[in-house]
Structure 1
Amino acid sequence: MAWTVDEQLALTACEAVAAIQAGKLRATDYVATLLARAAALSSLNALTALNMEGALAAAQRIDALAPDEKARLPLAGLPVVVKDNINTADLQTAGATPALADFKPKTNAPSVQRLLDAGAVLLGKANMHELACGITSTNFAAPGPVRNPYDPGLIPGGSSGGNAVAVAARIAPAGIGTDTSGSNRIPAALTGCVGFRPSVGNGGAERRYHDPQALLPLSHTRDTAGPIARTVADAALLDAVITGDTAQPSVTLAGLRIGLPAPLWDGLDASIEAVARGAQRKLEAAGVLFVELGMSELMPLNDRTTPITAHETLADVRAWLVANDAPVQTVEELALSIASPDVREIFAAILADPFAPLYQSALTTWRPQLQQLYATTFANERVDALMFPTTILPATPLDDIRGSSVVSLHGQMLDTMTAYLRNTDPSANAGLPGLSLPAGRTADGLPVGIELDGPVGSDRRLLAIGSAFEQVLGALAPPII
């Protein structure tokens, strides 16, 4: 059959793979359509590099396979975008910063390699907040700030903003970003996508995605790659390929117990609260039982873990530069060419390392207490997951002069990063899996995300719960571009 452009753009990742495997859609045609889409929407600045020749060549190899060979590839012909801080051998891994422009590591990150081995096609590298040090994706280096497809004058969230915009704008059906404190979930929420942060726990066997020295880092304790897609099923598909865990737990909404942590529902923007409470009512009508949780210690404990990332960045970035034979070998050299004013300030603080004296207590005292709070809550309250708005306010105006450094909430001016990270940071600190999915849109038409957090290791069940919620809440209409 002949597919129209609109029909191809509307395909989810699962639908695209099924069509290619069945011989109903040529991977070459699909990739060509998305490459043209990327070029037409270049003003959104979603990508730092487009893999024109490589993507078409990879698609041609998929089309040349016998039907049974295609059927054995779980991602046959699926175009994906990969965040610019995840190692790829054929395209740059620059962290969207000038000192690493055009730098290509020798090998792909293991997570990326597993996608490619499963038949995925690398469409391009996704733009981001420079060096992942922010949540707006207002990048002052080329190609410039990432723009929200629902309103190009607004931020898309970050730091994986390019991934989310590429997926939301139908440039790609799915991709892989990174999440340290909320960098997958925040942009997913602000652009109407699904963002998944897999379990990290205390590292080792608890870490779901293993990409040693393959992510330009912020914190080895907290960093992880993770999928961004348009549906929970698509995120689960990528997760299964990367991990080999294809479990599909059965979830019945009737009687499902979901906790509502009070600190993460407090002080919300009115438009966010209206959509989130509306989603809660729909889920209650479907049989979900919501349990109000105090968790008064959550934010104080989380605040005491701040020194972990602040201290680890210096040594971790240096180690990545050396291990990957980057064109600069020290953080000092890297910092000299940082283009974004807010990131320059952060790296000046990183080099001073003021949190070093507090690091050990944050890592060995306060973080374990935060983890214990979550574990006790899940066990004592018998909740299957926690639910709350991913962000406390919707997308706000993009400021490409000052870098979107402050936002207004309830008549007060707040630090943008602090405001947007409020709800996503605690579970990231604790190493839990977190899933943001669309809850609806505000009266102004802006996407709102709802997050589900589960115990460490409950990733596939969390995805199954998210999929069941998605059936109730419905999909968002795509942006009109």
Structure 2
Amino acid sequence: MLRLLPLLLLLACATNSPADTVSETPIDLSELTIAEIHAAYRAGDYTSEGLVTAYFARMDSLDGQLNAITIRNPEALATARGLDAEFAETGTLRPLHGIPLLVKDNINTAGMPTTAGSRALADFVPENDAFIIARLREAGAILIAKTNMAEWAFSPMHSESTTAGTTRNPYDLDHVPAGSSGGTAAAVAANLATVGLGTDTGNSIRGPSSHNALVGFRTTLGLISREGIVPLYLRNDVVGPMTRTVADATHVLQAMTGVDAADPITRRSEGKVPADYTKFLDPDGLRGARLGVLRALSDDDPDPEIAQLFSLALNDLERLGATVVDPVEVPRFQELRQAQWCNTFRRDVEDFLATYVKRDTVASLEDIIRIGTDSDYARGGLEEARTTTGRYGDSEVPCGDAYTDPRRIAFREAIEATMDSLELDAIVFPSWNHPAAQIDNFEEGYRGDNSQVISPHTGQPGFTVPMGFTESGLPAGLQFLGRMYAEPTLIRVTSAYEQGTHLRRPPGLDR
């Protein structure tokens, strides 16, 4: 059913976003889902063009507070009109037909800048879409804007870039949205678009999602192509959906999977991808599930309020039909988690520059450093990349992917063997043990980031969903860790937890 909003939201969008018509019927953008949009399209209540116009007007109204959007797509309204004409002619909606999408500014989008938040790429406009962007456009998504990020994706703590400055958390503007996909997180949480994309090298989908009461999917390494994405450490990098519901994240995931010859690791997914991930959405999906509590993470110096929310979450999981195995101990866990990081930024970014940017003046890490940055944090990351090689903790041990690196394999096998022995569907822990830090004190306030510990190294999928709020109104997230290619299981249990708790609420920016 169509929901109403003051007509103010249907004013023409900003001057850098063309608009010559507005929707005939007011559209309430608050918490709008893919299913609701498609129902409204079928009912004739509003159009893709009207929806994009409304989102642009909301950006005009709210993004001045957030600083989440870097550039709007000048072709978005024309794309929307084309999709409206297609639907009028065929009566058929594509899977993401007319769904407004935000894209992190390290993902190649043809005809729009892809800056990674940096001065070195400030005027880089790729000729072609990244593999996943092409897939999403084919599914009918409308790329309406790109979002701010931590420069070069270096920071899990905050989202500050030379090109766009600092993004703020919509639940408290004095706090960080986490990093590095903070722009997408803040914008989706504030209902500036329907869905968004982030990238995650260690935390950067799940951390910002948990700090902004969102659903964030870090999928199995190898399930989704990273072609055309500015890398941080490609051996760990994953791209995935950041949305307000598990169902919406699942629809976006469905559109992005597929083997890509330009990203050979995706060949590992052959034979492991179901035809339809959405069939695993199940409000009763926790009934009979077995979930393990990894106290090595959840009890590592937690904030008392986050610990209490986690305790309530475990009670909810049991109430909804799951058996909670508490605690779960992984043999040699503390030993296996050590020396897993490798700084491969130089190699990976120079390959990106050679493949896509193709400029003699921006061809090396030294060129990036010479061109400079306004971010002290990014400057430190660049210098570290210049001086650091190999695996942290043991530079003589080579760095490999999750399928060939002995240390990564050993870590994963220990976790999955424990899951097998206890017949667990997933392992659970808070995505962060502490709430979002204050922007003015983000480095000292950076505490409790559990997302960095397991899945970026083992390659396993980790999904975060809203777990509730602190007394001051800052969100917290609950993370579900699964076996390799166990996205169907994670969709089943996270959708059931979400539907059984309804813990997300939007920020109060409209008040």
TM-score (norm 2): 0.85
- Taking the aligned partners of 1:368 and 1:70, their CA distance within structure 2 comes to 49
Indicate how the Cα distance of structure 1 residues 344 and 98 shifts in structure 2: closer, same or farther if over 3 A, else same.
same
Unaligned runs of 5+ in 1: 201-206, 408-415
What is the distance in 2 between the residues matched to 1:362 and 1:100? Answer: 27
Does residue 149 in structure 1 map to residue 170 in structure 2?
Answer: yes
C-alpha contact (below 8 Å) 1:87/1:107 kept by paired residues: yes
Describe the SS at the equivalent of 1:225. Answer: strand
Work out the CA distance in 2 between the residues paired with 1:424 and 1:163: 19
- Cα distance in structure 2, aligned partners of 1:10 and 1:354: 45
Deviation digits for residues 291-317 of structure 1 (CA, Å, limit 9, x no counterpart) = 1201253343222212x2x1x111001
Q: Pairwise mapping of residues 151-230 of structure 1 onto structure 2 (< 5 A)? A: 151-200=172-221, 207-212=222-227, 214-230=228-244
- Deviation string for 1:437-475 (max 9, x for gaps)? 001111111111000011011112211211011011214
Q: Is the Cα–Cα contact under 8 Å of residues 138 and 404 in structure 1 kept in the other structure?
A: no
Residue 303 of structure 1, aligned match among 311, 328, 338: 338
How far is 1:90 from its partner? 2.3
Higher relative contact order (CA 8 A, sep 6+): 1
Of 103, 107, 111 in structure 1, the residue corresponding to residue 128 of structure 2 is: 107
Aligned residues between the structures = 457
Tell me by how many angstroms 1:100 deviates: 0.7
Q: Which amino acid in the other structure matches residue 276 of structure 2?
A: T
Helix, strand or coil at the partner of 2:415: helix
Q: 1:11 aligns with which of 32, 43, 55?
A: 32
Q: SS of the residue aligned with 1:452?
A: strand
Query: Residues 209 and 272 from structure 1, CA distance in 2 versus in 1: closer, same or farther, beyond 3 angstroms?
Result: same
Structure 2 residue 41 is the aligned partner of structure 1 residue 20? yes
Q: Following TM superposition, by how much is the alpha carbon of 1:3 offset from its aligned partner in structure 2, in angstroms? A: 4.7
Letter of the 1:96 partner, please give it. G
What is the alpha-carbon distance in structure 2 between the residues aligned to residue 340 and residue 299 of structure 1?
A: 34
8 Å CA contact 1:259, 1:386 repeated in 2: yes
2:112 corresponds in structure 1 to 91
Query: Displacement, 1:146?
Result: 0.7
Quickly say closer, same or farther: Cα 1:198–1:145, change in 2 above 3 A. same
Question: 2:68 aligned to 38, 42, 46, which one?
Answer: 46
Residue 241 of structure 1 and its aligned partner are, at CA, apart by 1.3
Aligned twin of 1:412: none
- Does the 8 Å contact 1:186/1:420 carry over to 2? no
Counterpart position of 1:315: 347
Equivalent residue letter for 1:264? L
Q: Residues 66 and 347 of structure 1: is their aligned pair in 2 closer, same or farther, counting only changes over 3 Å?
A: closer
Distance 1:182 1:271, change over 3 A: same
Deviates more, 1:56-65 or 1:423-432: 423-432
After alignment, is 325-334 or 145-154 more displaced? Answer: 325-334
**Alignment partner of 1:405 is 2:427:** no
Distance change in 2, residues 1:315/1:334 (3 Å): same
Deviation by residue 1:346-404 (Cα, 9 ceiling, x = unmatched): 211111124366263564332121111122112111100011100010011002xxx72
Q: Does 1:69 align with 2:90?
A: yes
Partner of 1:264: 297
Candidates 465, 474, 489, aligned match of 1:437: 465
Where do 4+ consecutive residues of structure 1 move more than 6 Å?
none
- 2:138 corresponds to: 117
Does structure 2 conserve the Cα–Cα contact (< 8 Å) formed by 1:20 and 1:76? no
CA distance in 2, matches of 1:338, 1:102: 14
Aligned identity (percent) is: 32
Contact kept in structure 1, 2:99 and 2:141, CA below 8 Å: yes
Unaligned runs of 5+ in 2: 10-26, 259-274
Contact 2:122/2:163 (8 A) holds in 1: no
Q: Secondary structure at the match of 2:357?
A: coil
Alignment RMSD (CA, Å): 1.9
